Amino acid sequence: MTQRVILTGSALTLDDVVSVARGTVVVEVDPTAAAAVDATRARLERAVQAGDSIYGINTGFGRLASVRVAPEDIQALQRNLIVSHVAGVGAPLPTDIVRAAMVLRANVLLRTTSGVRSLLAARLAEVLNARIHPVVPEQGSVGASGDLAPLAHIAYALLGEGDVFVGDDQMATRPAAWALRDAGIEPIVFQAKEGLAFINGTQVQTAVLALLLHDARNLWYSALAAAAMSLEALMGTPVPFEARIHDARPHPGQQEAARVLRELLEGSEIRESHRADDPRVQDAYSLRCTPQVLGSVLDALDFAERTAAIELNASTDNPLVFGDDVVSGGNFHGQPIAQALDIVTIALTTLAGLSERRLERLVNPELSQGLPAFLARRPGLHSGLMMAQVTAAALVAESRTLSTPASVQSIPTDGNQEDFVPMGMAAAFKARRVLANARRVVSCELIAGAEGLEYRKPLAPGAGVARVYERVRAVVAPAEGDRALSPLIEAIAGVLETEALP
């Protein structure tokens, strides 16, 4: 049976967004929601016909809000707004982000506060189902009156202008007019307020956050898997993961991290082999404090997820329509999303930094509890995984630089009318980069952890760690000598991009 996502303006979930962005689900508009939107639209049109002065409908925009627009120019005003805001630059956003932004925008336009025709949401659904993806440059938005430029590029394609990708091909573009025609889709003609409503919103930065949270949560579990495997390879102790320790400081993320580690390490022969005569009192922080550090990462992801879940079904354009009242406000401001993106960036950098420290212990003969230097088969002749730690260190250093928040970096725009802006897309760009970095750092640790376990045989690790080891070994074989590491790191990163270990 074909999976469907029904848009109502109030019930979209993060899982729905991921399914539309990366799957083949059919997007539909709920008829009841569409009828309510069209009823609101009729009231708004009566106000326009009565000659009321309403921002963005028969006035200019931003600093030009005091300029009245003649009735015969209202339709041209909306088109001019779209065309003038097609100002993005840089590489195109990936298709999954564009699809996520489109379904988010369609959903929000089904809220009666937008005052548009339900046709806009229905047309976006048609374009999504036809797998037509506007070319949306990733740079050029400050996230203040929403993601103006990125959303304008999407709207431009609905006009039958600009270029699009069709299907999953992001190598060759086609004119939007051709793609719409081939799919039997009529270009949109934006009516009063509709161009403004379309681009006034946070849906592109929210799309990045939604997909990022899905991927970051998967990586969080994989990072715990890597930590447990490293602990076994380093013959560490699971005692610091006892539930009573974490119940005494009951941060939810910390408790969950400790629980997962206990499950991964249960039944370890390696642990039993050194329980009685180990002279060490306690392990280093990078092993012992994993629940506290990665727990705080999970708590940060949970905070960001609560923010995103609200934004999925929130009214973020301006002005908003409440019955017969049309009210100007600032719900388009992207500060909540930009701040959440910055927090996720910091959290993922923390995750990567902790992973790199465990990796260092695995390859450093002074710290590795008898493992060969750099996990090389013949240290000296072979360099082993020396460069895996160097690569991880480089990625962590870059991520720390990128962890400087974007959401506090305001530069006023629009003649100082938009005098405090959140730089949400800059935050999104950094967060995506740091996620990719963190994924590769954890990949390096997983490769090293699996190699370290080779030297603990015939002792078996915990059952959960054994599953992680087998998953890594399905992609990367044990080392017999030196080999190119880049393909191995990227291969494991590819696994982590699509699944959570174990």
| Catalytic (active-site) positions | 55
Angle at the Cα of 56 from the Cα atoms of 153 and 331, rounded to 5 degrees? 75
Per-residue exposure over 256-280, b if at least 16 CB sit within 10 Å of its own CB, e if not: bbbebbbbbbeebebbeeeeeeeee
Structure tokens at 184: 């039997």
137-139 and 320-322 as β-strands: parallel, antiparallel, unpaired?
unpaired
Q: How many whole angstroms separate alpha carbon 272 and alpha carbon 291? A: 22
Q: Give how far the C-alpha of residue 244 lies from the chain's centroid of Cα atoms, to the nearest Å.
A: 34
| Position 430, amino acid | K
Q: Which helix (H) or strand (E) holds 325?
A: strand 325-327
Q: Closest Cα to residue 23, out of 49, 44, 4?
A: 4
Q: Does the bond joining 458 to the residue before it have cis omega, within 30 degrees of 0? A: yes
Q: Are 461 and 408 in contact (CB under 8 A)?
A: no
Q: Does the bond joining 478 to the residue before it have cis omega, within 30 degrees of 0? A: no
Q: Are 126 and 173 in contact (CB under 8 A)?
A: no
Which CB contacts under 8 angstroms, 24+ apart, belong to 120-125? 120/188, 120/194, 120/197, 120/198, 121/7, 121/29, 121/34, 121/37, 122/29, 122/34, 123/158, 123/185, 123/186, 123/188, 124/27, 124/158, 125/7, 125/27, 125/28, 125/29
Q: Closest Cα to residue 489, out of 402, 349, 389?
A: 389
Q: How many whole angstroms separate alpha carbon 233 and alpha carbon 274? A: 12
